[in-house]
Structure formats: structure tokens, C-alpha cells
Amino acid sequence: ANFVPGHLTLTVNRGETVHLSMLLLGSEKRDVTWKYNGNYHYMTHWNEMVNRTAVLTLENVAIANRGIYSASYMGDTPLHGAWMRLIVRVCPNRKWGPNCDKECPACVIGYCMETVLCPPGFDGDALRDRACREGMFGRSCQQSCGSDLNCKGLRFCLPDPYGCSCASGLVWDSLFLLLLPACPNDMYGPDCKLSCKCQNGFCKRFSGCTCPTGWRGQSCEKPVPDWAPQILELEGNLEWNLNSTPKIFCSATGNPLPSHNSIELRKLDSTVLKASRTIMDSNKSTAVFEIPQLNAQQGGLWECRVSTNGGQDSRKFNLTVKEPPVPTTVPTLLEKKSKQLLVLPGDTYRGDGPILFTKILYKPEKNGNSWSSIIVYSDKKPITLMNLEPSTRYHVCVQLSRPGEGGEGAPGPETIMETDCPGSLFSFQGCPILHKIVTKIIHSAAPTMSSLPTDCFVYVVKRGHQTTNGHARDNQIKYEFSSAIYLPPMGHLKKKILTSTQKFRGSCRLFSSSCLLCVVEPTVQPEIDISSVEGRNATVRWRLPANSGVNARTASGFLVQLYGPPPHSEKLQEETTVLNVLSTRFHNLEYQRDYTVVVRLVNCGSQGPPSKPYQFRIHSQAGTAAGDNYQLLVAVVGSVTVTCVTILLALLALFFIRKMLLNRRRTFTYQSGSGEETILQFNSGTLTLTRRPKPTPEALTYPILEWEDIKFEDVIGEGNFGQVIKAMVKKDGNKMSAAIKMLKEFASENDHRDFAGELEVLCKLGQHPNIINLIGACENRGYLYIAIEYAPYGNLLDFLRKSRVLETDPAFAKEHGTASTLTSQQLLQFAVDVATGMHYLSDKQFIHRDLAARNVLVGDNLVAKIADFGLSRGEEVYVKKTMGRLPVRWMAIESLNYSVYTTKSDVWSFGVLLWEIVSLGGTPYCGMTCAELYEKLPQGFRMEKPKNCDDEVYELMKQCWRDRPYERPPFSQISVQLSRMQEARKAYVNMALFENFTYAGIDATAEEA
């Protein structure tokens, strides 16, 4: 640049005369052009320049004159020139107010507004009360330059009307383009514009005149009389915790100002406490007192005393010492599981309240070097200890805390709590009963757990009789009993004296020197009753005998084993289920091969007797079940039986047909007001519109449920216009769980039409394992209720988000190195299930129109089922003509632009759903509005690949999001591609915790659009 401005900004009052100056760096004798806001304003001839400075004079400035002024040589580019800004106040000098009719208070420097606005580096009201000390600047002296810079080289700008200036005590050297380190003699302030004129004392370039003791005033011209100190700030009641380190502040003013040794704390017992440090400002001194390791004797009445040459002042305050609370009773164990303990803290404690929070401390009895803890802000509710080790003893104690520093008390008394065996088991822990049984171990060397057998028969006799255990491997262990507790397989406890002929079947381990741990071995044999084959996947179901008495006390679950064909009968797969799940699914089996399944109960490692082997075969065509010969026989017998029954029923048909029509069928018909429908068809990217008459609506017949046969239970889902309630329904004499869908009272006509449309779709679709199937419907008091299959795991979106274990249980995530409780195979299976269900829908020529993770339910065995058919249509092409709520983030381009829906638009939605699965329930296009989607999707914008997603899966997403509908893959092809991925057993969705792992964003408000 060839110029340097005299000021970066200049603030003036309206009506004043201002001189704008530019310093020339070169010695060229050329004219200077001035521009105002980029337009030519004035020219300074080179002969008019003095000391190489070009000056532009503006007289009687007005608001119109404020703006940017620049100077450059005539004909040069503006980049070689310089700029400055002129700020013009609305009011004239020393006037303010809406009409500029109010007088400003007197001030040495500053800008007149409602009150005086001090420039950077000063603080005060009417007169300049004080300037910033060295190293500080800004309004009210709140900003610091830092010890290294010391404000050298600092020029800063603040909002109008301050503008830009140097820091206090510095001046801008236009010639050398730097800030000089000091002001000239007798000058101070920003840009060194103010004069000290000190009569006493000396001039400090930051704050002006520094007066010696006894003098005051702007020029130190007035003597200062001494006056007594006065305590300004001190609380009357202070409360601190025992053993804490309280800090007590006492502030005082006076002349002279109280010094460090002038302020002290005194107690009635003559204890004197000196200040640890004192902060001295221009008008007050603040002493800080610290009491290390506060004890009870230091509580009571204290006094802050200030003494100077001007006099003395004192003020009393009370210091209360609070004792942190310490529990006096051990916590109570309310419930235990294999990995959890439900603990209730004790009610009593010594010390002072109130209780701020309760901390449960726990660690394993063995190898427990450090305590783990859980903090809850309640002392009355039970606390659950999670992620524990099964069959492990833990030290547990409680620590309480009250408000304030050092408010955490010492831990209370410890107790021992023990987790259950894996699953829900029948076991004795802590020996509350068995310590009455086993009174003495005769053998001197106590056996270890590893030396005991898995299963043992324990002979129990009366006191005074000794016997060896009947098991060959355990014949050296001898016990003496005084009484016994009989443990039958049912798990019921009966205290009695046993004879030598009675025995207990189960797993026993020596738990301590005087304690046995015994677990009942299951004795019930499950019965496999059916299997179903779908492609290369087989589902096996079983049941327990009636009145078997099996419950969570006698068994923890089922072990299902799959074997190959004889003679080798190699074990191929093994699955476990919890006790209330009576089915499992085997995936990717081989065609034309026989399989055998065996099911047995398990309980804490003990296995019950196996079921009878069940055989089935995977044929080349999916859906052919095992046991063809048996089914052929059933079919023949069934045909004969049906023929006979038909002849008998024909005689009764004339009498009951009318009643059957009324009670077991109901017609529900609706149609739109228009007699025509618009058909849009895509052909090589061309959009063709035709019209055809609408077909006559057919009567809709659905299976009836009686109102009395529905027993409502809990609300499991609710939206703006409808809700879903779990219920027990009775159909054809059988009771089953169901989800009842119903509309709310204020639902619109469109909502009722869509709801009836969903019932129509469910009736026409029939049954399929990957869609939510219809159970029946009921009409009561003018309201329609639809009963569908109950999915115990809820919708897929919530299920995916709950699996984000890094958010719900970070300790578990880091321990196992995983970001989800779901595996890559399970996530891929969800996609396969949905693709299979959509293939079935497309074969039926149904368009879903609202395919998203929130509309997919997770049933037994984590089978995904498509649901929510409220927007579905049984047409090849559907054109929406009504205004309703739209799932914009899942809609294809042609649906957004033309309101056209086809199976290909469902394919687009499936791509978004696949992205939801991979991202564990992220919000599509998170951070974007619907308006942005309308604009950017036709331009080729698509969602980025999730970091944990394989390229092959993302390529399938992009195929679903192609612009031209006919270029998108059909659901049959998508289903095949995903099935092949699953068979490859590759981690297509990486759930490992890699570096910088983050979950996809969730925006609940955006999902409503």
C-alpha cells in the first residue's frame, strides 16, 4: 500500500468539522483521489500536501457523511490505497435523547449517549473515574492483553460509537506502522490523546495522574482527609462442612485504604486469623481468609476487624460447622439377578442433612482392588447395580453427601451381596438356609470347586450318622447334618428330616468352608410339535407338557441343538432362548438335506433330558415342510373327514346361515367422490397421463371379533390421531395377545378413510411371516378397532436406537468394544425380512407409500414385520389428490414432484430404511429442511455413506435412489442381494468401536415432516 490512515475509525458529533488524514509512504508527487463508499468524492493536489499527508476536510457533518473513505493515487488500483471509517452521532455535541434536546453530563472524555460511554481503556459515569491498569483494555476494563503481549502492538475495534483505537497508553505510529511502547511526556490514554497536567504525583501513561497519599483529583490538586474504614461485604451466617477448607471474604473501604495487615478475623476465645491474601482496588480492599481442615471447635461467633489510621470498624458473623452424613446401617438386598443387584440404602445415618445424593460403592470380594460407584439424587429409592458377574460375591456399602464443599461423608458399614447364576435360577447364596443344614465338614482338606462333579447325589441323614456321597468321584467328602431342607425338582422348600433313601438331583458346589450351593436340575422333557421351512430358513417350535410346573425357579431357558443326518449326526448349530420363548430359527440351511433337532431345558449349566428327536428336510422349493408322507396321510384323512362333515352341515346351513352372516361377517365399503382416477406411467423417463373410470368398490368382508372378547391392557403406542393398545383377544375359542389399533375422537375424515383403507389392505394381503397379519376387527359405538399381531419388541426405529449401547451403557460398550447390542448379521437380517415382505407386497400389486423403520415392527425371534398400511393402495400406480401428512424424508423424487406412487417409489423408501438400519436409527438428511430436499434431490444430492457401512451395502442404497424409477432394482433382486450378503458372513455393518466413532444424528422434530 502507498498510504496509511491517520485513524482506522473516527467518531464525531453531528454539525462538527472533521479532518480525515492519509499519510503518504512514498515521495511521488502525484494527485490523490478520495472516494466515499466506493464513489469519487474529492481530489487533493500534490501541492496541497503538508508533511506528506493528504487531508480531506468535512464541515458541518451530517448522518449522510458517515461511511467508508479511501485514498489512492489518481489512476492507481484501490488495493494500493488505504481506508478509514467515519462514525457520526445523530445528536450534536453534548446533546442526547430522541429529539437531541437533553444535556449530557460533564465528562473529560467519552461519548454522550443516555449517559457517558467511556472509550476503550476507561471506566466511569459522568467524570473519568478511573482508567484501566496496565495490560487491561475494553469497556469497563474487562479485557486482558496477556502477560506476554502487554498490549504492545494491539489495536482493536469495538461497536459504534467506540470505533477502533490503540490500547490505553499506546500510540499509533503511522510512519513505521506500529504501536509505540509508551506515550510522550505528560500524555496518556488510548492513542495518547489526553494530557495529565499533574500538580502532585506523576503521570502514568495508562491511567493519567497517580496521586501520592493524601492527594486526590484529576490533577492531584486536592488534599484527601483521613476517614474511618467501613466494612462493605460480609455475610452474617456462614455454613461449612467438617474438614473442608472454607474461604471467608471481608471487604472494607476508608482513607487510607486498609492494607493486608489491617484486616483480621477474631474469635471470642481470642483466636486471631490473618488474611492469606488481600486484593486492593482503587476504592476498597478485600481480604481472603482460609481455614484448613475445619473442625467443630472452630465453629461459633467470629468477628472481622479493620484498623487504619483513620479509625476502626468490625462486624460479627456466625460460622456453623456441619458434619457430613455417614450411614449407620448396611444396605438391604431387595432382588438379585445374574448380572444385577437391587439395593435399598439404609434409612438411618449420623451427621447433618439434607442428603444431596446417595452413592452406592461396590467391588468383587475377590480381585476387587478398586470400588465402582453409582450416584443417585434420592435416598429413598432402590438402586440397581448393573453389568455384574454372575455367581459373584460383592462388597457393598453406601456413601452419603450433603451440599457444599467437603459434604461427602465416609462410607457406611459394608455387607456382602451375591449375584445369581446365569438366568433366573433356583439357588442358595449367602447360605441363609443351608447354614442350618451343613454344620460341619469332617474332611480336613476342603475340596476345591474344580474337584467337585457337575452333577451329584447328596444323601442326607440324621445327626450322628455319617455317610459318603453316592457319586464315585465325590466319595471322600463327608458331611454331618442336624436337619435338612428337602429340595424336590419343583423347587418348593419343605423342612423335614430325610431318611438315607431320599436324595437330591442337581448341581452342587462347595461355596465356603460351611456352605453348599445347590442348583436344581431340570427333569421335564420338552415336546417339539411343529417346524416350518421358508426357503433355506427353518423355524422350530416346541411346548412343555401340561402342568409341568416349570418356572423361573427351576429352569433358566432352553438349549436347541441342530444335528446333521445319520450316521455321523454332527452337531451343526446350537441356540439358546429364554424360558418364555418357545421357538427358534435356523438360517441358511442346505437344500435336499435331512436335519434333526433336539430341545432340552437348562438351569445354571445343568441340562435336563432331551426331547424326542425331530426330523425335517429342506427341499429345493421354499415352503415345503418336513414329513411329507405324514402330511399326505393327514391330507387324505382330512379330505374324507371334511366330506362327511359337509354333508352333516348342509342340513343345518338353512337354519344358521343368516345368523352366521350377521355375527361372523361385516361389510365395510368406502369410495372417493370422484368417478375417475388419474393414471401416470413412466416409460424410459417419459411421463404419460391418462384417465379411466374408477371400478365399482367391492364389499369388504373381515373376520369379526366380539367386543366382549377383547380385554384391553396397556397403551403401547400413541400418535396425534390414533393409539395402539395391547390386549388379550379371544378368537375361535383361543386366547392370544394382540395389538388393537384405534383412532382418537377428533380424527379427521381423511384419517378415518386411511384407517379403513388399512383394514382393506390387511384383508386382501393375507398371511405372510414378514408382514403384520390381521387377527380381526370389531365395531363398537361407531368406532372401528383393528386387531393385529402383537410384536413384543416394538417398532424397528426405537429398537435400533435402544441398541446404541455407547449412549445407554458406555462401560459395557468400552469393555466389549462394540457400539451396539445388535450384530451385523442381525441388522442385515432386518433388511432381508423387510425386502422379503415388500417383495410379497409388490407381487400382490400393493404400494405401501410409508415404508420407514418406524413402520416396521420386531416380532418374536427378532423377525421384522412390515406394518402401518394406512397409506397403502392396491394399485400399480397411485396418484395422491388429497392434502395430507407426507413422510417427505422417505419419499422418491416423483412422489415429491408429482404425487405419484409406485412400487419403485417404495424401493426408494427402502433405500432410506436401509440407511436407518445401518445408522442405528439416525434421522435421514439430519439438519436439512423439507424445502431443501425439494430443491437438492432433483439436483443429484444423496445422503453420504455412514462410516460403519460397507461399500456394497451403500451401493445398494444408491441403486434404490436412482432418478429414473425404472432403473431402480425390484424387491426380488434386492432380497436376493441381501440374502447373499448374509450368507457371506461378512461384517457389512461395522459395529466395532473405531477411532472417532459417532452415531448418526437424531432430530425428532424433523422426523415429523
Q: What angle do CA 364, 367, 370 make, to 5 degrees?
A: 70
Do residues 885 and 799 touch, judged by C-beta distance below 8 A?
no
Do residues 392 and 418 touch, judged by C-beta distance below 8 A?
yes
Is there a binding annotation on residue 312?
Answer: no
Q: Under 8 Å CB-to-CB from 642, ≥6 apart: which residues?
A: none
Which has more pLDDT, 569 or 967? 967
Q: What is the pLDDT of residue 233?
A: 77
Q: What is the pLDDT of residue 322?
A: 93
Indicate whether 413 pLDDT > 70: yes
Q: What percent of the chain has pLDDT over 90?
A: 22
Q: What is the pLDDT of residue 40?
A: 82
Q: Which residues pair with 583 in a beta bridge?
A: 541
First to last CA, the chain: 55
Is there a binding annotation on residue 724?
Answer: yes
SS3 labels along 616-650: EEECCCCCCCCCHHHHHHHHHHHHHHHHHHHHHHH
Domain 326-419 has CATH 2.60.40.10: yes
Q: pLDDT tens across 69-123, in order?
A: 999 988 787 788 898 889 888 888 878 777 787 777 655 445 454 444 445 544 4
Q: Is 606 helix (H, G, I), strand (E, B) or coil?
A: strand
Q: What is the pLDDT of residue 123?
A: 46
Which has more pLDDT, 408 or 756? 408
Q: What percent of the chain has pLDDT over 70?
A: 72
What value does the mean pLDDT take over residues 177-186? 61
Hey, which CATH number is domain 707-789, 1.10.10.10, 3.40.50.2300, 3.40.50.300, 3.30.200.20? 3.30.200.20
Q: pLDDT tens across 29-59, in order?
A: 888 888 898 888 888 888 888 888 999 999 9
Instruction: Return the number of other C-beta atoms located less than 10 Å from residue 459's C-beta.
Output: 19
Hey, which CATH number is domain 227-322, 2.60.40.10, 3.30.565.10, 1.25.40.390, 2.60.40.1890? 2.60.40.10
User: What type of residue is 275?
Assistant: A
Which has more pLDDT, 546 or 689? 546
Catalytic choice (420, 833, 850, 906): 850
Q: What is the pLDDT of residue 217?
A: 75
Q: What is the pLDDT of residue 673?
A: 33
What value does the mean pLDDT take over residues 780-785? 83
Q: Which residues pair with 743 in a beta bridge?
A: 722
Q: What is the pLDDT of residue 51?
A: 86
What value does the mean pLDDT take over residues 210-214? 76
Check the CA dihedral 941-942-947-951 and report its sign.
Answer: negative
Q: pLDDT tens across 127-162, in order?
A: 334 455 555 655 455 566 554 444 544 555 665 665
Q: Under 8 Å CB-to-CB from 633, ≥6 apart: which residues?
A: none
Is there a binding annotation on residue 414?
Answer: no
CATH 2.60.40.10: which residues of the chain? Answer: 3-89, 227-322, 326-419, 527-545+553-618
Q: Which of 119-123, 153-157, 470-474, 668-672 has the highest mean pLDDT?
A: 153-157
pLDDT band at 961, cuts 50/70/90?
Answer: very high
Superfamily name and number for 527-545+553-618:
Immunoglobulins (2.60.40.10)
Q: Which of 182-191, 196-205, 350-359 has the lowest mean pLDDT?
A: 182-191
CATH 3.30.200.20: which residues of the chain? Answer: 707-789
pLDDT band at 181, cuts 50/70/90?
Answer: low
Phi, psi dihedral angles at 435 (to 5 degrees): -70, -15
Question: What is the Cα–Cα distance from 667 to 698, expressed in whole angstroms?
Answer: 10
Which has more pLDDT, 521 or 111? 521
Output 168-171 pairs: Cβ under 8 A, ≥24 positions apart.
168/120, 168/121, 168/122, 168/131, 168/132, 168/136, 168/137, 168/205, 168/206, 168/207, 169/121, 169/134, 169/204, 169/205, 169/206
User: What type of residue is 437?
Assistant: I
Q: What is the pLDDT of residue 809?
A: 84
Q: Is 495 helix (H, G, I), strand (E, B) or coil?
A: strand
Q: What is the pLDDT of residue 428?
A: 35
- Of 511, 458, 459, 460, nearest to 481 by C-alpha is 460
Q: Which of 387-396, 469-478, 481-490, 618-627 has the highest mean pLDDT?
A: 387-396
Is there a binding annotation on residue 380?
Answer: no
Provide the Cα torsion 594, 600, 603, 605; round to 10°: -40
What value does the mean pLDDT take over residues 514-530? 70
pLDDT band at 775, cuts 50/70/90?
Answer: very high
Q: What is the pLDDT of residue 180?
A: 52
Q: What is the pLDDT of residue 161?
A: 60
Indicate whether 669 pLDDT > 70: no
Q: What is the pLDDT of residue 499?
A: 34
CATH 1.10.510.10: which residues of the chain? Answer: 794-984
Superfamily name and number for 794-984:
Transferase(Phosphotransferase) domain 1 (1.10.510.10)
Q: Under 8 Å CB-to-CB from 76, ≥6 apart: which residues?
A: 2
Instruction: Return the number of other C-beta atoms located less than 10 Å from residue 947's C-beta.
Output: 13
Indicate whether 205 pLDDT > 80: no
Q: pLDDT tens across 223-266, in order?
A: 777 778 888 878 888 899 999 999 999 999 888 888 888 999 98
Indicate whether 420 pLDDT > 70: yes
Which CATH number does 3-89 carry? 2.60.40.10
Is there a binding annotation on residue 283?
Answer: no
Do residues 199 and 151 touch, judged by C-beta distance below 8 A?
no
* Range 32-55 burial, b when 16+ CB lie within 10 A, else e: bbbbbeeeeebebeeeebeeeebb
- Of 735, 736, 744, nearest to 717 by C-alpha is 744
Q: What is the pLDDT of residue 863?
A: 94
Do residues 570 and 596 touch, judged by C-beta distance below 8 A?
no
Cell of 858: 420386531
Q: What is the pLDDT of residue 737?
A: 92
User: What type of residue is 970?
Assistant: P
Is there a binding annotation on residue 717?
Answer: yes
Do residues 41 and 192 touch, judged by C-beta distance below 8 A?
no
Indicate whether 491 pLDDT > 60: no
- Of 495, 518, 500, nearest to 508 by C-alpha is 518
Is there a binding annotation on residue 28?
Answer: no
What value does the mean pLDDT take over residues 307-311? 84
Is 886 buried (19+), middle (13-18) or exposed (0-12) by CB count in 10 A?
middle
Cell of 391: 455367581
Is there a binding annotation on residue 719?
Answer: yes
- Of 39, 26, 29, 20, nearest to 78 by C-alpha is 39
Q: Which of 125-139, 322-336, 985-999 has the highest mean pLDDT?
A: 322-336
Indicate whether 176 pLDDT > 80: no
Residue linked to cell 337354519: 655
Do residues 873 and 853 touch, judged by C-beta distance below 8 A?
no
pLDDT band at 629, cuts 50/70/90?
Answer: low
Q: What angle do CA 199, 204, 210 make, to 5 degrees?
A: 50
850 flagged as catalytic: yes
Runs of H (alpha helix) within 922-970: 930-936, 951-960
Residue linked to cell 483466636: 271
Average per-residue pLDDT in the chain?
Answer: 75
Q: pLDDT tens across 831-884, in order?
A: 999 999 999 999 988 888 889 999 999 999 999 999 887 544 444 454 444 445
Check the CA dihedral 895-900-904-905 and report its sign.
Answer: positive
Q: What is the pLDDT of residue 934?
A: 86
Indicate whether 518 pLDDT > 60: no
Q: What is the pLDDT of residue 136?
A: 62
Q: What's the count of helices (H) and strands (E) in the chain, helices before strands? A: 12, 71
pLDDT band at 379, cuts 50/70/90?
Answer: low
What value does the mean pLDDT take over residues 196-204? 81
What value does the mean pLDDT take over residues 366-390? 81
Check the CA dihedral 546-550-551-556 and report its sign.
Answer: negative
- Of 273, 335, 333, 345, nearest to 303 by C-alpha is 273
Q: What is the pLDDT of residue 763?
A: 85
- Of 167, 174, 176, 196, nearest to 184 by C-alpha is 196
Q: What is the pLDDT of residue 448?
A: 35
Q: What is the pLDDT of residue 835?
A: 95
Q: pLDDT tens across 559-592, in order?
A: 999 998 877 778 888 888 878 788 898 888 888 8
Residue linked to cell 446533546: 95
Is there a binding annotation on residue 721?
Answer: yes
Do residues 109 and 187 touch, judged by C-beta distance below 8 A?
no
Do residues 525 and 546 touch, judged by C-beta distance below 8 A?
no
What value does the mean pLDDT take over residues 273-292? 88
Q: Is 957 helix (H, G, I), strand (E, B) or coil?
A: helix
